[in-house]
Every structure is written in structure tokens, then in C-alpha cells.
A = this chain, B = another copy of it.
Amino acid sequence: MAPKSRVENRAEQTRAIQETARRHLAEVGPAALSLRAIAREVGLVSSAVYRYFPSRDDLLTELIVEAYDELGDAVERAQDAAGDDLGARFRALCRAIHDWARANPHEYALVYGSPVPGYAAPDTTVTPAGRVTGAFLALALASERAGHTLAATAPLSPAESAALAPVFDAVGAPIGEERLVRWLMAWKTVFGHVSLELFGHMHRGVLDYDAHFEQVTAQLAADLGL
């Protein structure tokens, strides 16, 4: 065995810890994630882990960033595969979120569920967190430019349009207020569906989640004029 240099050993251990943490997360969920159990599996004593992650929360932060990035990748991949039609892209976007969440329920809960106690998301998470929202907004802008006709949408009061100023900035180009509101609503509906489904609130009401989700996204697409 070649003696490992300090830097590569450090990188390797850091990766081993994070990978094990990732596996544990998928198995037991964020709240039950134990630093000591991770250390045991990596072959380290618990205190040694603190050489690599200053606290359990920092390890969680890495996992949060990882989850956001995975979801972001899945979403972008699905959109690329969907071609140019905006309706197809929108459906692909929604389905990618739904599929990823069902395949990674604990990771979804980590980022879109209740925040872990005492944990405040550092700035590292905001960029990857914005990717999915950004995908919605990018589609919204593309739809604006394609001249799609919205379903009838109420005009905004001055207070309401003022409230959305940062979102307008995020879009980065002129977009109709009503259109933006519709897209935000679609965003909420999709994540509302996924959260309600994953957290067990549709368990007694809906037999086939996929069929129902398909219907919902189709309706959203129609309302968005796609």
C-alpha cells in the first residue's frame, strides 16, 4: 500500500465520511443521523470526525447542498431530454421533481421538509437551492417570449406586485405580472403535491399518485398556456 500524502488522505477521509453520511441519511433520515454511527462505519472514533467537519450541522449542510445539486441535476437533465417544446419541458420538470423526491424521500425531507432544529441555512446552500426555482422562472420567461396565452388571471394590486420585486429581478428580463404569479402558483402546487404525498397526507385519498400527479401537471400546463 502506497503511503498516502496528507492532503490526499484528508480528501479521501472527507469523502468517505460524507458518502457514509449520505447512505445513513437515505436510510434513517436527517433527524436520526448520528455522527458517531458514521464514524464507526468509516472506522474512526467519533472525535476524529471533528477534524473534517466542525459539527454535525456542517455535515448536514454538505448533505443539503448535495441534495439540492442532485435535484438540480435531475431537473436539468430531464429538461434537456425533453426537447424544445415548452409544454414538454414543463412536464419533464415537474416529473423530475416528483421522481427524485420519491426516490430520495429523506433527502427531499431534508431540504423541503421542516428545518432541523437550531439549524440555520448558511449562504452556501442558497445557490444550489435556487436551481429548481430558477428552472421554473426560466421556463416562465421562455413562455412569455413564446407568447403563450395564459388562462384568465386576475391583475395584481400594487402591493402584490411590489411584494414580488425580488422574483422579477431573478427572472432577469421583463415578464408579465400575471404570468409570473401563475408560474409561482405552479411551483407551489408541485411542491405542495410532493410534500403532501411524501409526508402521508394523501395516503387515504389517492390510490395512484403518478396518475394523479400527471393530471395535476397537465392542468397546470394548460393554465400556463403551454
Contacts and interface: CB of A to CB of B under 8 A. Distances in A.
Interface of A: 28-32, 109-110, 112-118, 121, 126, 129-130, 133, 151-154, 156-157, 159-160, 162-167, 170, 181-182, 184-185, 187-193, 195-196, 199-201, 204-209, 211-212, 214-216, 218-220, 222-223
A151 B192 CA distance: 21
Contacts of A167: 205-206
Contacts of A164: 205-207, 212
A138 to B, nearest CB: 14
B112 A215 contact: no
Given A112-B201, A160-B212, A190-B192, 12 more contacts: A30-B114, A32-B118, A113-B199, A115-B200, A151-B151, A157-B215, A165-B207, A181-B215, A182-B219, A188-B189, A188-B193, A188-B196
Given A118-B32, A159-B211, A207-B163, A191 B195 contact: yes
Contacts of A30: 114
A12 to B, nearest CB: 30
A200 B129 CA distance: 11
Contacts of A212: 160, 163-164, 184
